[in-house]
Structure formats: C-alpha cells, structure tokens
Structure 1
Amino acid sequence: MASHITGSQVSLREANMALLFDAITKYGAMTQVELAENTGLSSSTVSILVRRFVEEGTFTTTDTIRSGRRATLVSIARKVGIGVGLYIGRSQLSICVTDFSQTTLAYHDHPLPFGHKPDSTLIQALRLIHETIENIGASVEEISAIMVAIATPIDWKHQQIGVRGILPDWDDVDVVAHFAQSFQCPVFIDNDANASAIAESKRGVGVDYPNFLYVQAGDGVGSAMFINGALYRGSMGLAGEIGHVQVDPFGDICVCGNRGCLDTVVNEQRLVSVLSITHGSLTLDDLIRRASDGDAGCRRVVSDAAVRVGTVIAQTCISMDPGCIIIGGALCEAGDVFMEPLRQSIQRLLFPDAVEPILIISSPISSTSVALGAALSALELAPTGN
C-alpha cells in the first residue's frame, strides 16, 4: 500500500512538472506567481518544483519587477536547446533564433536580389546561421532543430517543394539535405504562411483563438488555418493555398499552370503595372507607401486588391467558420487603405444575420512572423531530451 502511495505521489509530481514546463514553453518566461495562476498549482508547489528544475539545470531564474514588486522570473535554461528559423522569400532572407522559453535570442533581415539562385542563397543562409549563433555566444551543437520557411507551397509529407514553377530554379533543390549536411540536428521545411500562423498562435493575436485563419497578402497571397488549436495541413500539407483559387476563368495563366488564380491579380508585378503610365516604375513598397500617404491612384489599386482578397477569404470562412481572421504581409502595412475594403468585402459575403461578425485584424508581428514562427515550430518538432 505504501509503495502505491509513493508511486501516485511521483506521478503527480511529474504531472505537475509537465504543467510548468508546458506553460513556459507555450507562453514564455513567467514569474512564479504567473505560473501558479496559469497552471492552477499552489504557490508552494510551484516554488518547490521550480527549485527542483533549477537544480536539474532545466530552468533558470532571474530577478525582475512586477507591479512595482520584486519577483522571480522563471525561464527554460538555454542549454536545453535553441531553435533556428530561416525565411527564404522572393526578396528577403531572415533568421530568428529562440530558446525553449520562446525568448527571441536573435533576429536579422537580409535583402535578396530578385530571382536569387539557390546555390548562392543557401551558402548565404549557412553563413548567416553560423554568424548568428556565434554572436549570441552559443554553439551549433546547441541547435535542437532548424525550420526553413519558403515562399512556395510545400509538400509537408515528403518535405519537398509541393508545386513546381512557383519559385523558379528551386523545384529540384533538396533544401533539407543541404542543411542536414552541415548541422547535426533535424531540419524541416514549411511554407511561409504556415510559419507565420504558428507565430500568431504562440506570440500574436491567435493566442486567444483556437480557430483562426491567417492570410498573408503582398507579392502573392497565401493562408493557413488553425482548427481546434492546431495547424491544419491537409493530406499533403498544401491546405490554405488560397492564392491559387480561381477568380477569373479567362484570366492570365498562373505560374502553377492554371488560369486566373488570385495570385495573378494580387502580386507585385501586376499591382504596380496598373500604375506604370501615371506613376512610372514602382515597387510594391513604393505603392504601399504612396497609398498610405494619400495618393489616389495607389489607394485605388490597394483597395481593389483588398476586394479581390476579401472575396476569396469569405469563401474560405464559410467552410471553416474561424473565430478570427489575421491579416499579415506587405499589403496590411497600408493600414485602413487595405483593411477597410477588405473587411467590407468579407462581411458582405458572409451570413448577414450572424450573431456577431468575425474579428478581422492586421497582425502586429507581421514583419517578423515568418522566421519567428519557423524557429518556434523547429522547437516543437525537435526530439525531446536535447
């Protein structure tokens, strides 16, 4: 009988320790008072378990101030492992390094030339990882996992590019193998919208919504769906590719091979070309800046893009019924010039007698969310015990 009680006590202690670890992994560094509030454990139990974790080297504590009072901040010790997130975009290379407490240890953006080639870009990415890890005083042996987010559909099941032709020259590149040869840790790839949605679920608006739709609108359109607190990938990992929903059956041929996809009307080249006669040569950033500054022509182009995107979002919402729609990407940086017509076009096509309208909000972490989400996802996928 005594051994049964001891075993039960051990199981309870392990369960409580798991509660603490999961809370800090999910929400980041917390004070002991906050840990007690979030786990439902008593303050004395939290104190005992934190002391045990610190002795084991799993947790570390630092002094902090909360509401004017001294408090003990608890975080996961960095030696447990770090996650590296890389974002290879059409014109951008970004890196984010986080630890298991979700603390961002480093973040950097680097421009890439239009039409950048895989060989030079991957060499630059390797160099960037080594430099960043060295700069934070860590070693590559501490890396628990690497996630590479790429601006193209990814076949999650087979960890390879899922739709050929969208990111020129990358179709036959084995991205996972390239990094796995240089680092002794698991390497994964995902698309940029999924990575951003993961960041939103952990550090952004999505924290409070188990069911939300994330939409990335800029040089093309992508999305990701969180259903019941988990990213929905579909059978091959290609769920959420709303940029390839047809909006014009007689429209331009898309890079995916179909005709009239949303991406054929909402992409940098198409948007700025409409203004070429009146405004000369513009970039997407120029267009967004001028629209925000009140340029009538630029505002019209951004507004028209919002209506196009909103129409497809509404169709997705009727099937998915999200509690929240989070908008990221370059176009949301135009503020209400983009967001208001987007909201109107979505609400106009949803059920008019719904009890309450869907919350539609621009992401406050959009500029960093891809690499951040990739880093957080890497740690989720890393084998335990590192």
Structure 2
Amino acid sequence: MTPPDVPAIPSHGTTGNERLVLAALRGGVVLSRAELSATTGLPKTTVTGIANRLLQRGMVVEHTADAGRRHQGRGRPASGLALADPGGLVAVLSFSHTTIRAAAVGWDGTLAAYRAIDIHGDRDQQRLTDQGLSLLAEAFAETGSTPEQAGFAVIGVPAAFEQGVGAVFGQVPDATRKAVPELEKLFGWFRSDPVPTVTERLGIPAMAENYANLAALGEATAGAGRGLDDFIYIKLVEGVGAGLILGGRLHRGARGLAGELAHVQVVRNGRWCLCGSRGCLAATYGGFMESIGRSTYPRPLSAADIRGLAAVGEVGTRRILADLGRGFGRALADVCVMLSPEAIIVDGMLGAAAEPFLTGMRDAIDHRMPSVMAQAVQLLPGALGERAEMLGAVALARAGQLPAATAGW
C-alpha cells in the first residue's frame, strides 16, 4: 500500500539554524525538542521556534509514538519531531555479484514489496539492467503502482564505482572499445553509470551508489550502527567491500572510491588482480563464502550451508571462519589506527558465521593495534541482513530530496 501523500520538503528558503535541525533528523530519527537542543547546541527556545516554523511549512511532522517510549516520568509525554515524507515510494534496484534485488520501499523504511533473482554469473550490463527493471515493475505491481510513480530510484552497484563514470577498474578507452568490443565483456559489467538508462526508462530522479556504501547507510540509520558517528562496515557475502561512516556521514573520498577493501594488498607478490595490483583481498579470497565452499569441502557448499555448519558448531568451518577473520583483521588494524572508529560492523548476511569470524578479527586487531585503541573498537554483526542495502537506499533517496546543506549523506 502506498503511504499517504505528504508535502515534499522544499529545497530552498531555510535558515542556517533550520538546516541544523533538519540535518539532526536525517535517517528517520525521531527527536524531542529537548533532544534537538542538545544535538544541535541551539537554545531550547530557538529550537521551539524553528520547530513551529518547520511544522507550518510541512517540512517536519509530530511523532508521538517514539517519544512516548522515551518518556519515563508522569504526565503527558513530550512529542517528537521527524522529517516529513516526500510521498510515494522509493524504487530500489540493487545488484550484487550473485543476485539482483528489486524493492518498493516506503520513505519510513517499510518494505512494501520485494523481488530477487540469481544472475547465474551473467555480466552483460544491458541485459541485467533490463532484468532488474522488469523485476522492479513486478514488485511495484504488488503495491498497485509502477516504478514510474516512485519519488526516487536508487541503484546499488557491486564495483569500485565513480558516479557519472562507472566501474573504474578495467576501464577501456573509447577508441579501444570500438576497435575491440570483446574487451568490454572481458572486464565485466557496470562499465558505465546506469543512472541515465534508469532515468530515461522510469522518468524519475535516480542515483547509483556502491552497494557496500548503501549497506553501511542502512546499518547507520536502522541497524547496528544507529547512534554511532564513526564505523567501518564490511561487506563479505556476495562480494567484498567496505563503507565508511565518519563524523555521522558517508565518506566517499576522492572520486567516490573510499572503502575499497577488496583492493587492499594482503599477500606480497600474490595473484594479479583486475585493478592492476597483486595480492589484493579480492584476488586472494575471491567471493569469500563462495570460495570457502568451493575449495574446502568434498562438494561445493553455498553460503547458507556454511552458515548452517557454523550454527551447529562444526569445528572445521568455525576454524576456517576465524582464520579468515584474522586475515581481514590484519588488513583493518592499520585502518583503525588511522581512523579510530567506534566499531567495525560486518555483513549481517553472515548470520551464524559472524561469531567465529569476529572472534578471529578481534584476535588480529588486539595484536596489531595499541591496546587503548583496540579496546575502543567494537566488533558487531550487522542487524539488517539483505535489507541493509534497501534501507540505505532510502537514506540516500531522502538525502536527494533535502537541501544540499542538510542532506547529510
């Protein structure tokens, strides 16, 4: 069911203090006026005046349910404020190395409809985009609407991705592409930004983002990272990557490539990688869960099989996962010394496999970092599983609807 229409948030006409208040409410947060005062550093009387103006202009709404849970004393609970929904649904199309996921998601993060298909190793960008858009249409049909009626579209991309360009590793010069078209297929997919195609097909604003960044945003706004200003999210299932939340914001770095954990060197003079370096995590561990299942057991095992073996305490599986955790921990320890994050959050799709993996990671971090810094880093399993990217897409879409100074992400 489509959420009721709510006035869209204006993109202009806000003061600096109003933008502070709007930024404090990003990501679906509900805060009382007193909490907004503490968060923004503005006097309570100033926050009250701002809240009244924003309410009149339809930019925020009163929200009593969450405030009521916070209220511990007697009498009438203080109401909370939340960002107004722009109305309609968000169209989410997320690609991983194994799966296409399509969803119609409410601006409050409610999953209205969801579809997923296995790509079976296909790497043809046009064909996969067509499949994804068809899947998106199926999902929206369940809600009685179409993707063209959505307020925003977000595409998750499983690659080192530069917005407006595409995947940056293995880029083929235009002249070479025309002379040897087979090279495009050799290097894989998302050689170009999918946004123009999706925008043309759906006729709505769209944005593409690295899928690990989307998952990091999801955990930041609705999962294990909620309330944390600085953490590293590690994607392990269906590909290796990382998303950085620093100072409460998604950190993209130069050209949008921050967090490319897959291309950190872990083996000197190791296997060559697509990026042109040797011994990268991606080249060493491949598809992580999939590589464990292919190379270690008498028959190939799926990620679900490995999660199941870890859950029942199968010793060999747990030792392998702990050893992998130590490998990733060694790669992340130096990063943690430089950034001093509050936490490392690992892919919630690991399920029961997260516990032995995090045990190994803790061992490596404790041995390679100054103890006072190592103790400050929490190691947490993700709370959202495959929903992380869906909810991160909503956070990104909401940012796209806000004034640039208040968007946050």
TM-score > 0.5 by shorter chain: yes
Match of 1:274 in 2: 295
Q: Distance in 2 between matches of 1:227 and 1:44?
A: 29
The match for 2:335 is: 316
Gap change, CA 1:107 and 1:71, over 3 Å in 2: farther
What whole-Å deviation, never above 9, does each CA across 1:156-190 have from its counterpart, x for those lacking one?
3x341122389953143441122011122322222
Partners of 1:44 and 1:261 lie apart in 2 by: 53
RMSD, aligned CA: 3.5
Amino acid at match of 1:26: G
1:52 maps onto 2:32 in alignment:
no
What does residue 150 of structure 2 align with?
A: 143
Q: Which one is further off, 89-98 or 222-231?
A: 89-98
1:83 matched to 2:90? The reply is yes
Mapping 1:100-119, distance limit 5 Å: 100=107, 102-106=108-112, 108-116=114-122, 117-119=124-126
Is residue 126 of structure 1 aligned with residue 123 of structure 2?
Answer: no
1:235 aligns with 2:254: yes
Cα deviation, 1:289-322, whole Å, max 9, x if unaligned, reads 2122222222222122111111111121122221
Q: Give per-residue Cα distances to partners, 1:318-374, cap 9 Å, x unaligned.
A: 222212211115445413222111111112111134484311111112321122212
What is the identity, as a one-letter code, of the residue corresponding to 2:269?
Answer: F
Q: Would the aligned equivalents of 1:149 and 1:195 in 2 still touch at CA under 8 Å?
A: yes
Q: TM-score, normalized by length of structure 1?
A: 0.80
Return the alpha-carbon distance in structure 2 between the equivalents of residues 361 and 283 of structure 1: 23
Q: Deviations over 1:7-32 (max 9, x none)?
A: xxxxx99677656654544334x4xx
15-24 vs 218-227, greater mean Cα deviation: 15-24
Q: SS of 1:208's equivalent?
A: coil
Number of residue pairs matched by the alignment: 363
| Runs of 5+ unmatched residues, structure 2 | 1-12, 38-43, 171-183, 405-409
From the two aligned structures, give the one with the greater strand fraction.
1
Among residues 90, 93, 99, which one is paired with 2:100 in the alignment?
A: 93
Q: Distance in 1 between matches of 2:254 and 2:14?
A: 38
Letter in 2 for 1:160: G
Q: Which amino acid aligns with 1:289?
A: G
Correspondence list, 1:211-290, <5 A: 211-266=230-285, 267=287, 268-276=289-297, 279-290=298-309
The answer for the alignment partner of 2:169 in structure 1 is: 163
Q: How far apart, in 2, do the equivalents of 1:261 and 1:363 lie?
A: 24
Question: Quick check: 2:157–2:211 contact (8 Å CA) kept in 1?
Answer: yes
The Cα shift of 1:194 comes to 1.0
Q: 1:237 to 1:167 in 2, by over 3 A?
A: farther
Question: Residues of 1 paired with 2:333 and 2:376: CA distance?
Answer: 12
Q: Which amino acid aligns with 1:366?
A: G
Q: Following the alignment from structure 2 to structure 1, what is the Cα–Cα distance between the partners of residues 14 and 213?
A: 35
Alpha-carbon spacing, 1:182–1:228, altered in 2? closer, same or farther (3 Å): same
Q: Distance in 2 between matches of 1:355 and 1:303?
A: 18
Name the structure 2 match of 1:27.
Answer: 28
Structure-2-length-normalised TM-score: 0.76
Flag structure 1 segments of 5+ consecutive residues without an equivalent.
1-11
Separation in 2, partners of 1:20, 1:291: 45
Answering whether residue 179 of structure 2 is matched by residue 179 of structure 1, we say no
2:222 and 2:391 in contact (8 A); partners too: no
